[in-house]
Chains A and B, each alone.
Chain A
Amino acid sequence: MAEEHVTFHLPDLGEGLVEATVLDWEAAVGDGVARNDPLVEMETTKSAVVIPSPHEGRVVELHAAPDEVVRVGAPLVTFAVAAPDRPAAGIVGTVPEKEERPRRRVRLTPPDE
């Protein structure tokens, strides 16, 4: 399977918060992470939270060091994730499978000629 890079940006934290401070990374560059593994510990003016990994993959780049302030929407971490083999159908739907001979139960009787 091919790999592609996906960058995760700091999501909207709600409550009008516009930025957060990196407290500590729980994964390092080169680490493999599973989806929902603890990824980074961040602090806002309201609370400290652990953000889980949104992807399964390998960490390629951390875009902010501990104590650095990250704006909502700014890149946080880049993952290398497995790319699908088949072309994707854009935002919705799936690419139809390669056509196979359809299943049949009905048999025909040729007309008299």
Chain B
Amino acid sequence: MTELIEHTTATATGPTVELSMQQALNRALRTLLSEDGETLVFGEDVGALGGVFRVTDGLQKEFGADRVFDTPLAESAIMGMSVGLAMNGWRPVPELQFDGFAYPAVDQIVNQVARMNYRTRGTVPMPVTLRLPSFGGIQAPEHHGESLEALFAHTPGLKVAVPSDPGEAYRLLLQSVRCDDPVVFMEPKARYWDRRPVELGEPADPVGTSRIVRPGRHGTLIAWGAMVHRCLQVAELAAEDGVDLEVLDLRWLSPLDTEGLAASVRRTKRAVVVHEAPLTAGLGAEVATRVTDACFGDLAAPVQRVTGFDVPYPAGPLEPQYLPTADRVLLAVQRTLEY
């Protein structure tokens, strides 16, 4: 069973502890609930059960059922309630249990949460952070694994964050909830059990910046969420062939870090963007366009995309055929090398 989450106190400098992404998110929520009495955590099974992925484990017991509570199985109501709470000074952190369940709440997210600040000329901010267990990799049934990042990144007024490891999850969630703009916080389900040392400190990088997780000379692999790890694996394999790849974790999909992308690709001259979502009108197209626009004269080859296929997200047993494999990424890299 899931390990119990031990209590430690997070400080500004922060001790380093080994945590899974679930536990790191739990720590961040505990920090946020402690520092701001207006912060509320709610959703389906987040209270008594502690969330189907254990992210909210123990929070109701610690902070009470007024601040951490279960909702009916009604995603539109969860997001509609978030709007009302935010208008009245609360800082809601709703969870929609699986990304596929976000569709019934798209009206509330797109028409209300994303627009309220704009509609009221900045007088009614929406400090809502929607926690959305996202993407594939756990062989779940239909509607339990999707890749909705392009939909949310395409919606003006929303910020979109995707952590790729436990430390990032801790820091990005602190930033998202403290931000007065609405954030769709997409947690990669496939990485929930990934354990790493986490420094429980304050976030240092500004909102909207990417990060280089592996420096390299011959090309840049651009990814977010679980695909960052796929790209790190590919970089290891490429190194065996004498090809030195950089891996860039985009992590904020809105706003997009055009400067960070351009700085990396100007050095490496080649770019491959990797995501789980289907190819057509996926976020890879936006990334490729920005990179091309900013680095046209420096590029040694057209920007390549390695993505899921243009089919509905498949049920669990077909995931390995759908998600980008190491070989598919390597082929794209080879195309940029041969161009």
Query: B237 touching A102 by the CB < 8 A rule?
Result: yes
- Is B229 among interface residues, defined by CB-CB distance under 8 A? yes
CB contacts between A and B, total, < 8 Å: 86
Query: A89 touching B53 by the CB < 8 A rule?
Result: yes
Which of B7-15, B31-39, B274-282, B322-330 contacts its partner?
A: B322-330
Give the contacts of B188-223 with A (CB-CB under 8 A). 189-190, 193, 218
Query: B193 touching A87 by the CB < 8 A rule?
Result: yes
A89 partner residues in chain B, CB cutoff 8 A? 52-53, 138, 140
Query: B338 touching A102 by the CB < 8 A rule?
Result: no
Count of residues in B whose CB is under 8 Å from the partner chain: 40
Which of B71-79, B168-176, B238-246, B247-255 contacts its partner?
A: B238-246
Distance, CA A15 to CA B2, complexed state (A): 39
- Is A47 among interface residues, defined by CB-CB distance under 8 A? no
Distance, CA A88 to CA B189, complexed state (A): 13
- Closest CB in chain A relative to B247 CB, distance in Å: 15
Contact of A92 among B141, B236, B326, B331 (CB under 8 A): B141
Known A-B contacts A104-B330, A108-B241; the reply to A96 vs B337 at CB < 8 A is no
B2 partner residues in chain A, CB cutoff 8 A? 87-88
- Is B334 among interface residues, defined by CB-CB distance under 8 A? yes
Known A-B contacts A4-B1, A88-B1, A94-B139; the reply to A110 vs B193 at CB < 8 A is no
- Closest CB in chain A relative to B25 CB, distance in Å: 14
Query: B334 touching A109 by the CB < 8 A rule?
Result: yes
Distance, CA A103 to CA B54, complexed state (A): 32
B51 partner residues in chain A, CB cutoff 8 A? 90
Which residues of B are at the interface with A, using a C-beta cutoff of 8 A? 1-3, 51-54, 98, 137-141, 144-145, 189-190, 193, 218, 229-230, 233-234, 236-238, 241-243, 300, 316, 325-327, 330-331, 333-334, 337-338
Question: What are 14 A-B contacts with C-beta separation under 8 Å?
Answer: A87-B1, A90-B53, A90-B54, A92-B141, A93-B138, A93-B139, A93-B144, A95-B193, A102-B230, A102-B233, A104-B326, A107-B241, A108-B238, A111-B300
Which residues of A are at the interface with B, using a C-beta cutoff of 8 A? 4, 83-84, 87-96, 99, 101-111
